[in-house]
A and B are shown apart, each in its own frame.
Chain A
Amino acid sequence: MISQQHHQLGPADPAGPPILQVRGLRKVFKIRSEGSRRTENLVAVDGVSFDLPPSGSLGIVGESGSGKTTVARIIAGLEQPSAGTVLVGGSPLARRRRRRRRRVQMVFQDPYSSLDPRQTILAGLDEVLRLHTKSGKSGRRARALELLHQVGLDERHENLRPRSLSGGQRQRVAIARALACGPEVLILDEAVSALDVSVQGQVLNLLAELRTQIQVAYLFVSHDLAVVQQVTDDTIVMHRGRVVEAGPTDAILTSPADDYTRRLLAAVPRPGWKPSRRADGG
């Protein structure tokens, strides 16, 4: 069965061993079924394995319920796996939260709920730098400004609070905060999905640019195939908790091997597209 295999991704590895190694990940949620006291097991993630090379970029594609966000949350340490291992730089995820944070950071979908409304942009960055670095006050401010510049913001924004920023600017701040502690892996969970089309383009180009400037690997979780293509080298396609296809993003999008991947691609609107009706009514 394909999903039980270990998917070797990425080029034949000039960059050394993978920064992220995921093996046999499984997550079972206990849910109470309708009108009954018994609990049932919902297998959200089943036998997911993949490697992410240092400074690589891997997309996880799937629809709602595919388990893609659960995989991201386990890697970020927000959920415990039922089975399987996650190695970062060859060692298991540290139990100590702060050390883990330094290696793996996450950017969420909704920039309206992921920033503290009472904290200025500078204070938010300073908080992260205070926790994770030994820099003094002036060193931290210099680093905060550098981070703001990296995401296309500047001094004019440092004393603003999130409510004065647009959605795209907030997402830039969320990215700057995630990068502040110098993580090796940045998990982007539907990070551009809530943005207007014209602003989404700006953030996609920013993500592409950032990867050429700093050493960080992306784990890019999204339902949007065209967006995944812009920022990833490799992709895994998930369906009902399992990996149904894995390989270079371009190959998957141009010649998909799996039926489900083909169905996903066929559902993307384009000129001349004829939406099709499936019989199962799901």
Chain B
Amino acid sequence: MTTLPETTQRKLGLVIDLDTCVGCHACVVSCKGWNTENYGAPLSDQNPYGGDPSGTFLNRVHSYEVQPEEGAAQLIHFPKSCLHCEDAPCVTVCPTGASYKRIEDGIVLVNESDCIGCGLCAWACPYGARELDAAEGVMKKCTLCVDRIYNENLPEEDRMPACVRTCPAGARHFGDFADPESNVSKLTAERGGMDLMPELNTKPVNKYLPPRPKDEMDQIDVLAPFLAPVAEEPKGFIGWLDKALEKI
């Protein structure tokens, strides 16, 4: 049944550090790679080398500019994938029971052999986390690499989502939010981890750490006021040119 579980034993999810992400898209590539070669239908591309390429991705990195009232604008890279919401609207709308949220760890998954490809779950998701694969006709979404995290055939250090394993900046963290002592719970508490679109009451499990305020440079050096001032008046050829142009 596509009703949601009251509670889940664990709440596996990601913390994404917007302060640290450098926007390299390595998580996008590793996600596409792992999820094309492993569990479920491959993530297809349409016309990948042609004039109008498009394809299915479970993780995409947006970039936003934030302009404070004073000071320089800041560029923030913003990876976005399924947030494995506690109150996932995508699950309850599913007419076939293909979409479900696991009681044991809270991962939201699609049973691809039950999916009729109606697309209603993607309509219900505010975050654009679900994409209908154009080749396979079934809904694709982040599985939190369910085929890695419990996979005893992999070395222990690889038993985490591909995006987390590959992130060169350490901007992605994987763990159990139901455990207050987990790395992700601590990071969320320390850094003020936030929900996306909290007004829609989806209760996302994944949290985003806001970018830290930039350092302010009031003074370059304590001795700076004693340094000789930079010449205001141009000299030499530039000085002559300046004067000549003044006179015209």
Partners in one complex: no
Interface residues of A (CB under 8 A from B): none
Interface residues of B (CB under 8 A from A): none
